[in-house]
Structure formats: C-alpha cells, structure tokens
Structure 1
C-alpha cells in the first residue's frame, strides 16, 4: 500500500478530526472543572458522583435515541443542533449552582456527546477503506487522548470559582461545529440502527462481557471522581490536572503495546495483568508519601493499567464473533460500558463518603479484584483461542468507537435496520 493511499483518508477526515479535537477539549475541561468547582460550592462526594453518573446515563440514552435524530435530520444538522445544546449546557453551571440542576445538565451533555460521537465516527468510518480503517481510527483515538489532556490542563488558566472556564468550555464546544458545517466532504450514508442481543453477547464471551461492564465501573469512577481525589490529595488545581493528565498519558502509552501482546498470549491473562496494575498501584498511591514527581509517576502507571483495558476486553469478544456480528457487538459493548460507568461513580462516591478521598482507589481495587477473580474462573473453564484463530488487535474495531460505517460488516449483519420503526 502506498503512503499516499494511507494519507488520503486522513487528509479527507481532517475537518472531522479538528471538530473532534475542539469538542473533546471542551468536554475534558468540564470533566476536570466540575468536580473541583462542586467541591468549592460545598457539594458532597455523593453529589459529585451523581454528576458523573448523570453524564454516563445521558450518554447511554444518547446511544439509544440519537440515531433517530440523524435519520430524521441528517448528520450535519444533527451535529449542529447537539453542539448548540451542549454549548448552552456548559454555560448553565455557573448560572444555577445547584446539584440537581448540574446533574440534569450533565445528562444533557452526555446525551449530546453520544450523538456527536456517533456522527463523527460514522463519518470517519465512511472515509476509511477496510485497509485504512485501523490507521484512521487509531489516529482518532490518539487525538482523543491528546486533546482531553489539553482540556484538563486548561483548568489551571483561571481560578475555578470564576465564570471564565465555563465560558472557554462553551466556546470550544461551539467552535466544534464550524469544521463540520463548512466541510465540502459528502455526508455518510444513512445511519444504521441495530437490535441488541445481550444474551447472545454473553454466551459468545462471558469474560469479555462482564469485563466490559466492570471496566466501565472503574473508568466511570476515574473520570468522575479522579479530579476530586487529586485536588484533595494535592490541595492544588495544577497538580490535580497534572495527575489526571499523567494517568491519561499512561493509558495512551500502553494502549497499543498491550493490544499487540494480547495477540500472542491469552487476552484474559493480559486483562488480569492490567487489572492487577491498576488495583495495586492505586493502593500504592495511597500508601506512599505525597511527593509530587512520585505521585505523578504512579499516576502514569495507574492509568496504564486502567485505560487500555476496554480495548483488550473488546478484542476478546470480537475473537469469538463473526464479521456479521461486529456492528451489533460494537454497539452493545459501548452500551454495556456506559451502564457500568453510570453505576461506578455512585458506588465510588459512597466509598469516598466512608473513607475520604482514598475511597476512590479502595473501590477501584475491589472492582479490579472482582474482575481478576471472574477472569481467573473463566480461564479454568474455557481454553484460550490459538494465536492463529485470533483477530489481530485493531483499535478500529476494539476501541471505544462505533463501527456503524463498516460497510462490509453492515452488509453482512442481519440485525441492521434502516427503518427505526422496524
């Protein structure tokens, strides 16, 4: 394959990736800002946890209903409408400082982000061929990791008790509409809607299905309450942002190596290894004295254990699936992970109420132990696939993204319907 062939879809998707960068940067700033500002306003740990659960509940609902909007109005109009709503929501927080209102605003934001991601990922898949999809989606995932870190660090620009940071978040989200609305690129074909078969997914891979839910519990807790812990532990907004960014960096660095290792050994063993790293180093963070450079280094290792886990678990499920099932499984795994992410912040916030900020890592350790235990039991009951029978690790399939635009998978699937009433 020539270099030009590989670059072409990247160039064609440039406007889309730029929109994604602005969108996720604005959301990353809110992910960091809201728990810290909530603490300043006197919100309890449970109320801050509800903000995270509200976001992920909205995200799950968005996954279910936003395809209907895309079918009705098209990709560009849906994107513009959802961006406008998400931008307005970002300005609502300082105007109405109330936990219940903030939860509602986070639900609205989650709903909008689910639809926006669906539009973007459909568009990216449409621009890619089967040969270049992996490269394009890997670039998309890399952009995600990079710009969410930039968004988190923006919390250090101004004091978090001011209106300014919310305004910056709103501006970034609003600007995300410009590259999409002004693009000369053709819209993707009509969105596909799939029927979910959760029982079938569990029968296909009990390990991967349960792991995806538990990973959602852990990652949802990290995104929702990590800033609360980091700010309390360091008493510094700057250090809290650095800690969260260090964890994201760790996840980005280990994502691809962990996937490639799992191509050559049982992916379940890799899952156990990652869960062990996440659980163990979370506890180590609590036990060692707070020295900033050491704390950040441990954050890198903690993130390296936690954040790549989704792709490994998803790859394990896809190893047992037919190509015709990829659309259904991709959507089902995202939904299941979102449900776990909805539950996680509530459980972790209760733990924080009991044990203080350390409760975040205590809950994470318990969830990781549950994951390790379940996977170990499954290892004793089912032989791993030989290396030759595995699908090669591919973020284009295993990443937390949709494959609704994968033309071959769509055409093969008997679960895809174009008519929402079907």
Structure 2
C-alpha cells in the first residue's frame, strides 16, 4: 500500500479533487435549476448532456492522445472543464447549461482515459490491484465529500460554482508536476454489437437498462430532491447515500458472484434495486425511507455494472474481453443518454415520485429478462467463470481493461500454485 501511495499519490489526490468538483456541479445544477425556474424537462435535457459528451469523448479521447500525447490532452481538457463550470452562473439558460454539460462530459471522459493510463504505468503486477482499489475509493470519497461542500454557501450565488472550478484547476497541478514518465497508450476497437449480443444477450440488455438507472440516480437525483421540496442538506445527504451504498456493498457482492451462478445474483441484485425504487416511490414524503431507497439502489446498481461485465466475460476468450468491455460500456452509455430525458418525462407525469418509478420499471425489466435468459441456456460451471472485476460506472474502457488484466493474472497465478 505504501508503494502504491508513493508512486501514485499525485494522481489519486488529483482524481479525488476532480470528483469533488464533478460531484458538486452535478448536485448544484439540480438545485440551481429549481431556483431559476427551469422545468423538469429542461433540467433532464441539461443532465443528459453530460452523458452525451461522455459517450462521444470515450470514442475520441484515444485518437486525441495518439495525436498530441497525454500531457497536452490532460491540460487542455482540464482548462475546458474549469471554464465550463464558470459558464453556468454567468449564463443561466438551459440550452447554455446543456452545451456546457456536453463539454464537461466529453472532457471528463478523456481525463479518465489519460489518468487511468498513468495509473497503470505507475503500478506493477504486485500492486496493481491495490492501486485500482485505491483509485475507486478516492473517486467515491471525492463524490461524497462534494455533497458536504454544498452546505458552505448559498446555491443562488456564484460561490458554489467557483469552488468546483478552483478544485478542478488545483486537481491537475499535482498530477502534471509529479515526476512520472508518459505512458504508452493502446486502444482496443469495441466488438461488433451484433456479435456481442449473440455472445451475451443478458449482458447487453442489462447494460442498456442499467445505463438508464445510472443516469437517473447520478444526473436527476438532485432535480428530484429540489422538486420534492427537500432542503439543501437533505439533497446532499440523499445523493451521498447512493455512493455510500455502492462503496459498502460492491466488494461483498463481488465475492459472492465468484461462487454462484451470476444470473441468479444479477436477478437478486436487480430485484433489491427495484425494491429500493418502490420504497422511494411509495414513501416520497418520508426522508428516512428515501435514504433507505437511495442506499439500496446505489448499493445494488454499482455491483450490477461489474456483474454484467463479468457474466459476459464468462462466455469469451481472454483476448476478446477488452473489446467486449468497450462494447458493453458503449451500450451502457446509450442507455445513460436517454435516462435523464425519460426521467424528466416521468416526473412530469407522476410528479417527483416518477424518478423512482422509472428506476423500478428498468430494474423490474432486468429481473424479468434475467429470469427468461435462465431458461434459454445453462450457466457455465463456477470453476470455469472469470473473476469479478469491481469498476465504477464512470470508468473508461482503459480502467475496465486494466482491472480485467489484473484479475486474470491473479487467477493464473493461483492456478499455477494449485498445480504445484
């Protein structure tokens, strides 16, 4: 652990500060949009902009890195993020906000690719697993910490927009000034989507549905809170609970998944997520129950992301996993783009509880499809399945590939030791 911190502390600190800035601006927009009188549908378009940019950026970032290098891409995207965050309070117009969200989503996608390349370069086979775990933890800590900073100033003013802009600018200083060689970068072309669907229909359908769930909870939760009349501290606590649930439950579920039929676990996690959504829909006026709902949704949806990747990998050769993961992340991104818009429409029809109703519909659909797929083919033997790879929904294909490579190496080493 000390070796990981000594070699990658600047990157880990910088990424934590980045997540603080990103988490603040997302929550703040939901609250400020209500203050400015934006409609729920307008805010849904604004929030979907991030996922549009992220999806596009995941395709363009590798080419940008190949053309001008990691450092220039990193610095340029940092400047754009910081500037775009200051556009929000300067031009309080939903179309301007939507365009800024697209820019920020694009930039963060590229930043993740560059940062995760550096992380891989700073680690070796002995500590790569710890490095990836620390990376995920620091990101979660940053997002949760962002919600506490929401209580430091009036959301109707400029200060809460300046803070994330400053934090993002500061985040790049330790990374760019640290002495670290520029890593080599290689990308893998995503697998053909038709071929990927033939390999794992459940993986593809599940990822698309889950994209809508993620976009709803990460993009529209603050909008829900504002529409439901929650106070700023309550909205901050509610948003935090999604990530706290993910942080606590990710690894226990991963441990279980390597010891049973993953389809059953996918079905169970989706059902619990749906239960959480139904609790939120039925008890919208009860803040304690809303926290329970957020914990269950966040705690189940994040492991589901990793579970669907692991389940798809169970039917692939090792050399095909990276390209398949790229395809799955693209499918998830398509669902994420549509998620906020549909959530906004549902909230327009059903009121604030429409936020939870949509999550319930998506996860119940996943339960039904998982149950159907269990009747179509037998599950692979547990001994023949790949290891569960814990990754965040915000991870780029680079991070997923790195995590899979690490888990594969560990599994191979264990197998070799058993032979001896």
Give the TM-score normalised by the residue count of structure 2: 0.91
Q: 2:123 aligns with which of 128, 152, 168?
A: 128
Cα contact 2:203–2:328 (8 A) shared by 1: no
Structure 2 residue 371 is the aligned partner of structure 1 residue 376: yes
Structure 2 residue 100 is the aligned partner of structure 1 residue 105: yes
Counterpart for residue 95 of structure 1: 90
Structure 2 residue 157 is the aligned partner of structure 1 residue 162: yes
SS of 1:307 mapped into structure 2: helix
Shifted more, 240-249 versus 187-196: the winner is 187-196
Q: 1:276 aligns with which of 264, 271, 278?
A: 271
Counterpart for residue 223 of structure 1: 218
Give the TM-score normalised by the residue count of structure 1: 0.91
Task: Kindly provide the CA deviation profile for residues 62-86 of structure 1, in whole angstroms up to 9, marking residues without a partner as x.
Answer: 0111111111121111101100001
Task: Kindly provide the CA deviation profile for residues 158-184 of structure 1, in whole angstroms up to 9, marking residues without a partner as x.
Answer: 111110011001001111110121010
- In 1, the alpha carbon distance for the partners of 2:271 and 2:9 equals 38
Structure 2 unaligned regions, length at least 5? 407-420
- In 1, the alpha carbon distance for the partners of 2:209 and 2:64 equals 30
Task: Kindly provide the CA deviation profile for residues 71-121 of structure 1, in whole angstroms up to 9, marking residues without a partner as x.
Answer: 112111110110000100000011111111110000000000000000011
Structure 2 residue 43 is the aligned partner of structure 1 residue 48: yes
Q: 2:192 aligns with which of 190, 194, 197?
A: 197
Counterpart for residue 54 of structure 2: 59
- In 1, the alpha carbon distance for the partners of 2:334 and 2:274 equals 21
How big is the alpha-carbon RMSD for the aligned residues of Structure 1 and Structure 2?
2.1
- In 2, the alpha carbon distance for the partners of 1:289 and 1:109 equals 31
Report how far residue 309 of structure 1 moved.
1.3
* Aligned ranges 1:15-414 → 2 under 5 Å: 15-288=10-283, 290-395=285-390, 400-403=395-398, 406=402
Report how far residue 401 of structure 1 moved.
4.0
Structure 1 unaligned regions, length at least 5? 1-5, 411-422
Task: Kindly provide the CA deviation profile for residues 158-214 of structure 1, in whole angstroms up to 9, marking residues without a partner as x.
Answer: 111110011001001111110121010111113425254222221221111211111
Cα contact 1:31–1:152 (8 A) shared by 2: no
Number of equivalent positions: 405
Report how far residue 45 of structure 1 moved.
0.9
Counterpart for residue 417 of structure 1: none
Q: 1:133 to 1:108 in 2, by over 3 A?
A: same
- In 2, the alpha carbon distance for the partners of 1:173 and 1:49 equals 24
Report how far residue 37 of structure 1 moved.
0.6
Cα contact 2:313–2:386 (8 A) shared by 1: yes
Shifted more, 237-246 versus 323-332: the winner is 323-332
Shifted more, 282-291 versus 105-114: the winner is 282-291
Shifted more, 112-121 versus 325-334: the winner is 325-334
- In 1, the alpha carbon distance for the partners of 2:360 and 2:128 equals 35
- In 2, the alpha carbon distance for the partners of 1:178 and 1:326 equals 34
Cα contact 2:34–2:227 (8 A) shared by 1: no
- In 2, the alpha carbon distance for the partners of 1:26 and 1:313 equals 29
